[in-house]
Amino acid sequence: MVFRKFILLVLLVGAFSILSGCKEEADSLTIGFIPLKEKEVMLEEYKPIQNYLEENLDFPVNIEIMDNYANLVKGMENESIDIGYFGAFSYIAAESQMPLTPLIVEERKVTGIYYQSFIISRSDSNLKTIDDLKGKKFAFVDSGSTSGFVLPYALFKSRSIEMDNYFSGIHYSGSHVGVLEDLKNSIVDAGAISSIQYEQLLEDGEIREEDYTIIWESPEIPGSPYVARSELDQKLQENFVEAMLTIHQEIPDELSQYDRSLEKFVKIENKDYNSIRNISTILGKEYMVNYFLQDK
Amino acid sequence: MRQRGIRFWALMSIITISFITTVLFVFLSYTSISKSLKNQYIHESESVLQQSTNYFSYQFLNVENILEKLSEELTVESDNIFGTLQFYEQLIPSSSTIFMGLENGKYYYSSKQLYPKSYKVVEQEWYKNINKSEGVTWTKPYMDYLTPEIIISASMPITHNGLHGVVAIHFKIDKISEMISESRIGEDGLVMLLDGNGTILANRDNYLIGESIIHPQQEKLLEQSFDQLVPYSIDNKEYLIQTKAISQNGMSILTAISEEELRNELVKSLLPIVLTGILSLLIFGTMAYVGLLKVIKPLKKLIDLMSSVELGNYNVYAKEKDYLEVHQLTKGFNSMIHGLKKRDQELNHTYNEIKKTEKQLRVKYEELKESEEKIQHLAAYDSLTGLLNRRSIMQLLNQTIENNNGELYKAIIFLDLDNFKTVNDSLGHSTGDHLIVEVAQRLNNLTAKRKDVARISGDEFILICHDLHSESESEQIAQEITALFEEPIIIDSKQLNVTASVGVAIYPSHATTTEELLKIADMAMYQAKHFGKNCYKVFDETVKREVDEKVEIELGIGECLRNNKFELFFQPLFNVQQGRVTNVEALLRTKSSALSKFNIFQIIQTAEITGQILEIDQWVIREACRSIQRINEHMEDPLHISVNISALHIMQQDFVKNIKTILEETGVEPGWIDLEITETSLMESFDLNIAKLFELKELGISLHLDDFGTGYSSLNYLNRLPIDHVKIDKSFVDKMLQSEKDSKMVETIIALSHNIGLQVVAEGVEHEDQFELLASYQCELIQGYYISKPVNYETIIRFIQNQNINHMSI
């Protein structure tokens, strides 16, 4: 009967959809972060978002602040982290190690998804140009940090500056706030820091604008993306994105408390990160990636 | 195999056709769409390629022109330099800057930015990159000193107007990428600017800048792409690439069509078509199926009608409508039904007829059965007495032996009526039949409980008595049977004294098979017969012995006859009157060893039973004829020879003829031949025999009546017989001297015989006294040991010769 034909079709279609939908099931979500500031502070500040996510996704959300940028990549690799909050460069480095799906990125009120790398010095140290930094001590954030390493490194390269010879000492502070701390405490004479962190510190009143000089500003760099392991449950990824895209409507107060400059989250376009990719290509990608990833 | 309906086959064919059609359809649309799609993309890619190439060619040409112009126009004077630079800056794409650097380290540029003191122009890429050939050279992409953005520079040396340096134009790569990004090839296609080494200078979305497009083994492919579309992988994605060179600077434009996009587009275009196709197939399939069902409907109706016809209902009629084929079918159906109806009626009629015939046949059958039963009964029973017949009794005996499982005896009794023939002959067959019936009744009334009685032939009966507890019981039964016959039987107010001879065989003592038992009973009965009238004999060893003897003798006789082992002995008869031997009696003797233990009497008796006597008689007669011929050759007065003839012989039809033949054969004088016949032999079939005797008499043969006085003859018969001599039996001669009465008897017999003209021979004379007495009574011939015992041929010859001599001498 015709009926039988129908059943056959339905079965075929059904089989297909079942097969395609087969990905791993998850029962909890772990989000890993690059160390922007002290762990406890980051955890504290992220709490409202964490709660919001837990409510929305209807299962536990764990937050992990990594010790360094490389560990985030490693955590994604061994699947202990499901979604990572990367810097642009650390994302590109991770991309070369495993299949990743970029989900969302922060859109800022003024600068959109872009920010800058600053090289700053204490105003009282009278260091005003890159040339002034010769023989001085310099602080980077982390060899994986876009604003805290890669762009300054590109700058030095373009000016044919051999970092090890040029500076009297190179220090890796571990976080953006750490760079400022080291600068404040005169452990270093200048350092690289992300414009977002710098401005946040200013806004929070941690620092005073007049105390510091921005020696150099980089061109625009795309902001830090939330990236998921590609194998993570599709539904979970979708739900997460859905939740984050509407967070500015759901909990606007908590969001601005977390980060005043943050407007909302938007979906990532992969091409936005081409500029960073290209820079690392020009600089010598293999070297850069390995340097970063092997660094512990 | 299950028969499947039209529905099934229709469905199967619809599905198959649909499937095949779908497959073909999909395949065709796939190929055509993929082709057209590909062409579309290729077309796009080609046009983009052309456009971009032209555009960049133009741009680079422009750049070169400007650089050339600059290198000509720039002079030492600084405001002039700056102004010139600014002027030309307008001619180049925005965000590009013109730089001039001099050997002495001085540099000028068109933008407003400030360069730090550390900027050493002569160390810069663009400055160093020139080749001395005075043409434009392009750098690889590198990072700008200030920012660091990725730039690419075209530089040219200046060597005139007192200036030694380099003039260059810097381009921001991302700006070039922006320009190139305006061209698209599909969604995911790429358009890129490559330098002479295959490094990507500009790309859509600023993608993969600075990466080399060249894979280790694929330079050839890349070369091919200048001429044709070539599959190539870029950043692990598959593309179809085409390249075009920009003549000036070794750069080229590369367009890449994303294969994945192509495939997705294909599927996207294909899917609606396929789905529509499937959908329409489904619809049409369903319609076809439904249509088919409609077509089937009238057939179904016919099938239903057919079913009711099967059940015997011929009053159906199908409506003739719908389409032609069904119409014809329906018409056919109707006429078939009509035909069936008619035939049905005819069949009914025939059936009734048959039923009638059947009844008649049945009656006949019953009759036949009755007859059959009757025949069977007849076959098994004797019609006269109602007793079992021979066949049945034998069958019965067989079966009873087979089924026998007890230790009880059975008696098989043979019963033969003595002299039944006489009764039948003298009193008629009707009386005879009544007699038999009476006997049968008497037998049936015997006290033995379990018995079977059969009449096996004219006057012979068999009884089988079962379940006897001892052998002596059988004897009792035999006695009882003989007792039956002591009472005379009265038939038609005639009193008949009938006696029987009874022979008894006992199972399993005497034998265990039917044949044996019957044979033994028969033997016993035969022996009983010899005991006299109304006797019984239970089989015992003597019977067996006798029978065995008889067999032995029979065989012996046969052997003698074959091998000529008989011989004749001769006993002389003394003629009293003549005082010499005038006759000899031929007596049968045998030299055979097989018969040595038997006497001649037994042999002859046996021969008479077996019928061998006929042959013997023939032989005896013949031999006697020959012998007497020889004897009489030398005799003046020929002797007579007398030969004994058996009753059986006489009774033969060709008896006389035989004698005649023998006489002729031997050529003997019939007058010399005497035949001795016993009284008893003659008495049976008296009338017939008489005629034969007269015939013999006419031949010249003399006849002697043997054993005279012992038989049943009446004097009347005596008169009628054409005999010459009577022989007084030995028994008379033996007793003759014992008493007066006895001697008187003999005397009377002799006198009587003389009175009716017969001569007398006395047998068994052994003493002289007897001889004397007989001689005194005028007995003509004397025979016996006193004269001589029977002797052989040689001896009798001598005896006769001596006698002649003696006689001569008297």
Q: What percent of chain A has pLDDT over 70?
A: 94
Using only C-alpha atoms, chain A has a radius of gyration, in whole angstroms, of 22
CA distance to A212, B186, B212, B255, per residue, from B258 (Å): 50, 8, 18, 10
Which residues does A contribute to its contact with B (CB < 8 Å)? 1-2, 5-6, 9, 129-131, 151, 154-155, 157-160, 218-219, 271, 274-275, 277-279, 281-283
Same fold, A28-109+223-293 and A117-218: yes
SS3 state at B665: helix
Q: Which residue from A1, A9, A12, A10 is spatially nearest to B14, judged by alpha carbons? A: A1
Asked if A275 and B207 come within 8 Å (Cβ–Cβ), the reply is no
Same domain, B648 and B773: yes
Q: What percent of chain B has pLDDT over 70?
A: 95
Residue B466 corresponds to which tokens in the numbers above?
């079962």
Q: Over chain A, what is the mean pLDDT?
A: 85
Same domain, B414 and B355: no
pLDDT in tens, B558-610: 888 888 888 899 999 999 988 888 999 999 888 888 888 888 888 888 888 77
Q: Which residue from B629, B692, B632, B690 is spatially nearest to B659, judged by alpha carbons? A: B692
pLDDT at B183: 81
Using only C-alpha atoms, chain B has a radius of gyration, in whole angstroms, of 78
Q: Which residue from A152, A154, A157, A158 is spatially nearest to A171, judged by alpha carbons? A: A152
Q: Which of B150, B169, B188 is the last residue of a domain?
A: B169
Helix then strand then coil, % of chain B, to nearest 5: 55, 20, 25
Where in chain A are the domains? 28-109+223-293, 117-218
Same domain, B394 and B364: no
The reply to whether B259 falls in a domain is no
Same domain, B370 and B396: no
pLDDT at A174: 87
SS3 state at B438: helix
Of A2, A130, A154, the CB nearest to B286: A2
pLDDT over 90 (residue B246): no
- Is the Cβ of B206 closer than 8 Å to some Cβ of chain A? yes
**pLDDT band at B736, cuts 50/70/90?**
confident
Same domain, B324 and B440: no
pLDDT in tens, A163-210: 888 999 999 998 888 999 999 898 999 999 999 889 888 888 888 888
Asked if A281 and B205 come within 8 Å (Cβ–Cβ), the reply is no
**pLDDT band at B209, cuts 50/70/90?**
confident
CA distance A96 to chain B (A): 11
pLDDT in tens, B450-459: 888 898 888 8
User: Checking DSSP bridges between strand B451-457 and strand B460-468, what pairing results, if any?
Assistant: antiparallel
pLDDT in tens, A198-230: 988 888 888 888 889 999 999 888 988 999 998
Distance CA B8, CA A15 (A): 27
Q: Mean of the pLDDT values across residues B689-713?
A: 82
Tell me which chain B residues have a C-beta less than 8 angstroms from the C-beta of A2: 11, 282, 285-286, 289
pLDDT over 60 (residue B41): yes
CATH number belonging to domain A117-218: 3.40.190.10
Distance CA A64, CA B550 (A): 140
Q: What percent of chain B has pLDDT over 90?
A: 9
Same domain, B521 and B649: no
pLDDT over 70 (residue B644): yes
- Number of domain units in chain B: 4
The reply to whether B290 falls in a domain is no
Length of chain A equals 296
* Owner of token pair 């009497």: B601
Of B118, B285, B289, the CB nearest to A159: B118
pLDDT at A140: 92
ipTM metric: 0.78
- Architecture of A28-109+223-293 per CATH? 3-Layer(aba) Sandwich (3.40)
Q: Which of B141, B169, B197 is the last residue of a domain?
A: B169
The reply to whether B292 falls in a domain is no
The reply to whether B298 falls in a domain is no
Same domain, B431 and B477: yes
Tell me which chain A residues have a C-beta less than 8 angstroms from the C-beta of B209: 274, 277-278, 281-282
Same domain, B510 and B478: yes
Q: Mean of the pLDDT values across residues B173-200?
A: 83
Amino acid (1-letter code) at residue A156: F
The reply to whether B792 falls in a domain is yes
Q: CATH number, domain at B662?
A: 3.20.20.450
Same domain, B375 and B417: no
Distance CA A265, CA A244 (A): 6
The reply to whether B764 falls in a domain is yes
**B616 contact partners, CB below 8 Å, separation of at least 6:** B557, B561, B566, B588, B604, B607
pLDDT at B810: 43
Same domain, B444 and B371: no
The reply to whether B248 falls in a domain is no
What pTM was computed for the model? 0.51
The reply to whether B560 falls in a domain is no
pLDDT at A138: 93
| Residue B687, domain extent | 568-587+618-809
